[in-house]
Amino acid sequence: MSFPNLTTNRLLLRGFSTIDTSAYVQLLQDPQAFPFISDNGPPTVSDVERKIARNQKSFQMGRDIYWVVALKESNVFIGYLAAHNFKETCVSLSYAMSGQYRRRGFMKEAISAVTGYLLTLGAEVLEARVHAGNHASAALLASLGFTRVAFRDERDIFRQTLVSRVA
């Protein structure tokens, strides 16, 4: 399967390459982001390089898709969005947006595009696990039609059922 590049009005969702490393490191080290996306504190540059390689392998194995969220006009990295277990009917999402690009509707636009793509693969339910207190992520999911269905391991579980949309 070739990597599924997606485009929206303002964004290009594409695979990672070495040009993204420094912006990805900066995002994963951001004190306002890493507590919500990492269990092990901020990663080092070599941790992130290994992570990019792992993510690429994981796509080849048919498990996870990690998209770079880039500005369409410049191809600049502004965040990432991942679909985990993308071949299953319940697909889980993880994501983060670089600080200076938040609150401009970019992640909502990216998730909407990925939702459309996952529907074509047969996804029926989307899920996201959000740390208690991560109001931005909870509000983003609510704005996309997700609802909070459970609380596990100190995280709120949000779900959106897609099947009714295509029925």
Token pair for 55: 């993510």
The angle formed by the CA atoms of residues 141, 29 and 58, to the nearest 5 degrees, is: 65
Judged by CB under 6 A, the stretch of 9-17, 39-47, 53-61, 105-113 that binds ligand COA is: 105-113
User: Looking at 103, 152, 154, 164, which residue binds ligand COA (CB under 6 A)?
Assistant: 103
Q: Which is nearer to ligand COA, 150 or 163 (CB)?
A: 150
Pick the binder of ligand COA from 57, 87, 104, 148 (CB under 6 A): 104
d(CA 115, CA 102): 20
Residue ranges of alpha helices (H) inside the chain are 21-28, 34-37, 45-60, 106-121, 135-143, 163-166
Tell me which stretch binds ligand COA (CB under 6 A): 4-12, 55-63, 92-100, 115-123: 92-100
How many other C-beta atoms lie within 10 A of the C-beta of residue 101?
17
Q: Are 66 and 55 in contact (CB under 8 A)?
A: yes
CB of 167 to ligand COA, least distance (A): 27
> If binding means CB under 6 A, how many residues of this protein chain bind ligand COA?
23
106-125 residues in contact with ligand COA (CB under 6 A) are 106-108
- How far, in Å, CA of 142 to CA of 4, rounded? 26
The residue from 42, 102, 117, 124 that contacts ligand COA (CB under 6 A) is 102
CB 55 within 8 A of CB 16: yes
| Residues 11-50 as x/- pattern, contact with ligand COA by CB under 6 A | ---------------------xx--xx-------------
Choose one: 8-16, 57-65, 90-98, 117-125; the region binding ligand COA (CB under 6 A). 90-98
Residues in contact with 39: Cβ distance below 8 Å, sequence separation at least 6, in sequence order: none
State the residues that interact with ligand COA by CB under 6 A: 32-33, 36-37, 95-97, 102-108, 128, 130, 134-137, 139-140, 143
